[in-house]
Structure 1
Amino acid sequence: MKNNWFGLLVAILLSGGMAIAQGTPDDYKRAFGIYQKYSDKVMYSGVTPQWIAGTHLFWYVRNTPEGEKYVITNADKKSRTPLFENQKLADQLAKASGKEVNPRKLSLAACRVNASLDTVRFVFNQTNWSYAVRKNTLKNEGTVPNRAKERHWMERDEEKTSAPVLSPDGKRVAFIKNDNIYVKELITGKETPLSIDGTLGNYYSAYIQWSPDSKRVVSAKIRPVEKRFV
């Protein structure tokens, strides 16, 4: 009987210790708060390279005392130069979007740089933009589609609609038309179908991806099924 009581006491102590070690929601909030408070205080802390197709160049965001700087690194020459001037781009974005833009924190999403380093494409304020670095000109390339949140945890996006996807070289867009993949030349406006077997019951996904050399596109073929929810 004594041994049984001893085992029970040990189990209670262990379970209590595990509960304490798990932490509370407030503990997690404080932990995340520390990160948010000090994350921008560490300068030059890391490099996440984004390689530019067909070159030995990559760009990354550098955390400096003057704010986030977008820089280009030449792996052959071991040199680093600014990708663009933050203030110039911030002024253009503020003028075009009507919103206040902090040049120290541009927050450019889905950023892409062409091989000649003269054009930067990115998403800002739910809009696709193209920035000509040397000319200091900004072009609105369309609104990013607002994909509604799933209404049920088992329901999936049907991938029927999406904005045309621009090729990395900026010369073409790929999109879905009549359940098939099409490519359009931006200069001539010519449209070319890349598939002919897409149907309402077996269509191509509108979430298209380009290869880095702008020569190929990738999409999935989708066959809708009856929705059953638990």
Structure 2
Amino acid sequence: MRKLFATLLMCGGMSTALAQQPPAEKANYQLASRFSTGKLERMVFSTAVDPHWLKGSDRFWYSYETTEGKKWYIVDPVTSQKRLMFDNDKMAAELTKIVRDPFDAQHLLIDSILFIKNENSIQFQVKSSLEVEIKDSTVKQDTSSKKKVPGKKEIKTFYFEYDLATGKLSELTDYKKPKRNHRWASVSPDKKTIVFTKNNNLYFMDQANYEKAMKNEDDTTIVETRLTTDGVEYYSYGGGGGGMGNENNVDKIKNKNKRKPSGILWSPDSKNFVINRVDQRSVKELWVINSIAEPRPTLETYKYQMPGEKESAVEHLLVFDISAKTSKELDVKQFKDQNIGIWSAPVLKSSRDDDWRPS
């Protein structure tokens, strides 16, 4: 009886203790969001120097932001000299006069600095609050209506040139920002040859024809030269190679005859390039549904080797001579079912601000 009473007493004590425990607190996500990376970056400002090395000298420039605002500096390590790139107060006054937006010395929205004219001047851009209509974006008039439908608008960007010696700021009113290279274009270091993949084979064009493609990819006067003829699906020269995540089945048919990236690497002298050609024909297909595709889920088919399957992709390393239009396969066989990686030469630190880099 005493044991039963003691057991009941202990159980009652446990239930009382459990009943007295405070309820679990809910996660405070709002408090955590106050310390997110994006918000902390706005509070911490700059903590290190990030140098942009110049090409024609040993100098570099950098920007540094504190509670007093953001400033730009030019440094010459050889002479141990550092100076302001420009006077923030004067620059703010000049920009306000031209852009007609209020600028102050602490918040200069200067972007895309580029050294020009033997590194004696800089070129940069500033975005304004003015919205302008994108050229050639106006929808054609409806024949049944005389109303003109307005086109899309964008924030106007002003382009400037600043003389570092005289401090003169000039607006580049006729400046047109260079178009970025097409994703499919592998441009040689001398910019004279452009290689790409089309219909599973390699093609190339010269600089003049590429300039046409920059204006209009569908220009029928563009001259292309075919480099290979034996490329087939799942054993192509670049173009994605049928790997997963490239295109859904509908897009694959739609883009069949379009230019695609070749994935080549150029030699520094622009005479040769190397490509890793992958034979996936023996690998079995895998079908997946992209459930988050818009507006409806899509079917994707690609080659995929499942665990335990013997069929594996075979990789080949080829070197092309662009002038002779010939290729040679390198003997790199070392292991069964090996993967081949191609490494490019290290990029110079002074090339980080280049709008274009050779592949």
Instruction: Give the TM-score normalised by the residue count of structure 1.
Output: 0.50
Residue identity in the other structure for 2:96: A
The answer to whether the Cα contact below 8 Å between 2:58 and 2:77 also exists between their aligned partners in 1 is yes
Q: Give 1:164 deviation, angstroms.
A: 4.0
Match of 2:35 among 31, 34, 37: 31
Corresponding residue of 2:218: 201
Contact 1:130 1:140 in 2 (8 A): yes
Higher relative contact order by CA 8 Å / sep ≥ 6: 1 or 2?
2
Compare the two structures and name the one with the higher helix fraction.
1
- Which of 103, 108, 111 matches 2:110? 108
Unaligned runs of 5+ in 2: 1-23, 128-156, 183-205, 223-252, 256-292, 299-359
Q: Which amino acid aligns with 1:165?
A: P
Count of aligned pairs between the two proteins: 150
Q: Secondary structure at the match of 1:122?
A: strand
Question: Computing the radius of gyration over CA atoms, which structure comes out larger, 1 or 2?
Answer: 2
Q: Is the 8 A contact 2:121 2:163 kept in 1?
A: yes
Q: For 1:46 and 1:139, how far apart are their aligned partners in 2?
A: 31
User: Residue 53 of structure 1 corresponds to which residue in structure 2?
Assistant: 55
Displacement of 1:117 in angstroms is: 4.4
Residue 160 of structure 2 corresponds to residue 141 of structure 1? no
86, 95, 109: which is aligned to 2:88? 86
Q: Which runs of 5+ in 1 are unaligned?
A: 1-15, 145-162, 167-173, 177-192, 205-224
The alpha-carbon deviation at position 135 of structure 1 amounts to 3.2
Task: Name the % identity.
Answer: 16
Distance 1:107 1:84 in 2: 14
Alignment partner of 1:62 out of 43, 61, 64 = 64
Tell me the CA shift for residue 116 of structure 1: 4.5
- CA deviations 1:96-116 (Å, max 9, x no partner) are 000111112212111122365
Pair 164,115 (structure 1): closer, same or farther in 2 beyond 3 Å: closer
- TM-score normalised by L of structure 2: 0.34
- Is 2:87 the partner of 1:96? no
Which residue does the alignment assign to 2:162? 131
Kept after mapping to 2: 8 A contact 1:55/1:115: no
Which residue number in structure 1 is paired with residue 20 of structure 2?
A: none
Partner secondary structure for residue 165 of structure 1: coil
User: What amino acid sits opposite 2:122 in the alignment?
Assistant: V
Q: 1:165 aligns with which of 155, 178, 183?
A: 178
RMSD value, Cα:
4.2
What is residue 156 of structure 1 aligned with on the other side? none
Q: How does 1:66-77 map to 2 (within 5 A)?
A: 66-77=68-79
Tell me the amino acid that sits aligned with residue 115 of structure 2.
V
For 1:141 and 1:116, the matched residues in 2 are separated by: 18
